[in-house]
Structures are given as structure tokens and as C-alpha cells.
Amino acid sequence: MTVETVAGKPVLEARDLVKTYGRVVGLDGVGLQLFPGEILAVVGDNGAGKSTLIKCLTGAEIPTSGELFINGSPVSFKRPQDARDAGLETVYQTLAVSPTLDVASNLFLGREIRRKGFAGTMLRALDVKGMRERARAELAELGISTLQDVTVPVENLSGGQRQAVAVARAAAFGSKIVVLDEPTAALGVRESNQVLQLIRTLRDRGTAVILISHNMPQVFEVADRIHIQRLGKCAGTITPQSHSMTDAVAIMTGAQTL
Ligand SMILES: Nc1ncnc2c1ncn2[C@@H]1O[C@H](COP(=O)(O)OP(=O)(O)OP(=O)(O)O)[C@@H](O)[C@H]1O
Ligand SMILES: [Mg+2]
């Protein structure tokens, strides 16, 4: 795999995305291609446009101009739910879990399974047993072995386990694209490694992953390709094989150009 050409068709593609806030240019014509079964890291200095890029890709912001394609078809997301409906799930930096709910309920938040018949359709009763069974199966498939009990409230879990629930929620139910904003920022070494392993599992299942991170060693450990944002533009896309961490930082700061 070279830097410029990657086999296969992108599951997500952005062309010439621009996002302005009044006179401030958050994104200044950014392109991006994301392929099935790869981890694409997005790095860049503070204010480089990483969050703005992710928001424009995931329906949290509407780009001022530019085009977005899912599996080659043009899309325009007006809200995050539009992106979810298209198979794109996002885990925002602020944890998207409900602390008082248990693990299984968190996994099914917003897509609860109702009981069959009168109880479900008229009384809106939840199929708690069914959801717990599917939650166990989903966690097992993702290789999350530290979560033995899906009936435990998430507030009783460790930081890494909570993050694992948030990632599992995004990964569950066959989403094609998972976007993770600094998923290990608040975690210790062991917990970070667990989350990184989970991200690799997702990738190996064929899910396309976008990982925003400030942690260069982690980026170089897990990413297949690295998109470098600088001053609202993409300063280049590199791989851990083609460039060193020092190169990446130099490109980020403008000391080196590709
Ligand atoms: N809602 C907003 N209103 C005005 N300016 C904004 C807004 N959101 C972002 N910007 C500006 O757009 C530029 C890109 O910001 P963005 O948040 O995307 O950077 P970032 O790469 O995520 O930085 P960080 O690493 O600090 O999170 C910055 O100059 C920022 O001030
Ligand atoms: Mg940001």
C-alpha cells in the first residue's frame, strides 16, 4: 500500500470540504478517503480543524461547501441521526454512556427492543431478557472479556470499561464506519491498550475506523494511514511505514512539507 493509492473503493469520501464560522475558516477545502477495514488516524495541532472535520463528516455540523459520499453515493447529513442511519456511528470525547443504566441498556440506548405482542406494542414494555442476551453476544464477538455482567450499572465500571461500552455501542449492530474522538484521552495505560485492541478488532471485522488522537505513539501503533490537519487543510496523508513520528510532528507544525 502506498500513500496515494489504496486498493478498493472508499466507504466514506469527502471532497473539498469547507466550513466557515463568520470570518473564521475552520476547514479550508479538505478531502478524505476512508476504506473498509482500515484505521485512519486524524492528527493535527490545536485549532487545525480536526473536530470541525469530524463534525462535518458525522452530521454534527453542515459544511459550508464540499461533497460527501458513502459507498460512492452522495449524501448530505443534516443531523447526526442521518449519519447513523447511513451506518456511521460516532463516539464523542465526552462519554456517550448513561451512568445509571446498566451495560445492556446502554448498548441498546435509542434502539430498544420491545416485547412481542400487546405488552410491547401497546404498553411499550422492553424485552430486557432479549437485549441482555444480544448484549452478551455482541460483547463476546468484540472480544470484550472484562465485562462479565451486562446488568451492572455503567457508573460502577472502570474508565476503560465505560469507554469499551461506548465503543461497543457504536460498533454493534453492523455499523460500517466508526468515528472515535480521543477514545483513550482519559485512560491509563492498561485501559488504553484494551480500547486500542477493541479498535483493532473492529478493523479486522471490516469496519472502517476514524481515530482522532493527540497521542502519536498510539497513532503509530494502530493506524493504517494518518491524515495530518494543519491550519484547516490536509497537510498530507502518511503511513507509519512511510514516515516517522518526528516527520509527522514536523508536517503538523509546518517545519516539513510533503
Ligand atoms: N463554533 C465555532 N465558532 C467559531 N469558530 C470555530 C468554531 N468551531 C471551531 N472554530 C474554529 O475553527 C478552527 C478549527 O477548530 P477545531 O475545533 O476543528 O480544531 P481542532 O483541530 O479540533 O483543535 P483541538 O486539538 O484544540 O481540539 C479553530 O480556529 C476554531 O477556533
Ligand atoms: Mg478538537
Q: What is the per-residue pLDDT across 48-86, written as a single tens digit (0 to 9) for each? A: 999 999 999 999 999 999 999 999 999 999 999 999 999
pLDDT band at 124 (very low <50, low <70, confident <90, very high): confident
Domains and CATH numbers, the chain: 12-253 (3.40.50.300)
Mutate to test the pocket of ligand 1, among 18, 51, 90, 227 (most ligand atoms within 8 A of CB): 51
Ligand 1 atom 12 nearest Cα: 26
Enumerate residues lining ligand 1, CB below 6 A: 21, 24, 26, 44, 46-52, 229
Task: Indicate which ligand has the atom closest to the C-alpha of 21.
Answer: 1
- How far, in Å, from the CA of 44 to the mean position of ligand 2? 9
More confident residue, 93 or 16: 16
Q: Could you tell me what percent of the chain has a pLDDT over 90?
A: 56
Residue type for 32, please? L
- How far, in Å, from the CA of 170 to the mean position of ligand 1? 24
Q: What is the per-residue pLDDT across 184-221, written as a single tens digit (0 to 9) for each? A: 887 788 888 888 998 999 999 899 999 999 899 999 99
Mutate to test the pocket of ligand 1, among 42, 52, 94 (most ligand atoms within 8 A of CB): 52
| Residue 2 clears pLDDT 70, i.e. is over it | no
- How far, in Å, from the CA of 33 to the mean position of ligand 2? 20
| Mean predicted confidence (pLDDT) in 14-37 | 97
Closest CA to 68 of 18, 19, 15: 15
Q: How far is CA 127 from CA 117, 121, 130, 133, in A?
A: 11, 11, 5, 10
pLDDT in the model for residue 222: 97
pTM of the model: 0.87
pLDDT in the model for residue 96: 67
Q: Could you tell me what percent of the chain has a pLDDT over 70?
A: 95
Q: What is the Cα–Cα distance from 20 to 171, expressed in whole angstroms? A: 31
| Residue 97 clears pLDDT 90, i.e. is over it | no
Q: What is the per-residue pLDDT across 169-181, written as a single tens digit (0 to 9) for each? A: 888 766 899 999 8
Beta strands in the chain (DSSP E): 12-21, 24-34, 39-44, 65-70, 73-75, 88-91, 177-181, 208-212, 225-230, 233-238
Grid coordinates belonging to 152: 451492572
Ligand 1 atom 2 nearest Cα: 21
- Provide the mean pLDDT of the chain: 89
| Mean predicted confidence (pLDDT) in 141-156 | 84
pLDDT in the model for residue 174: 67
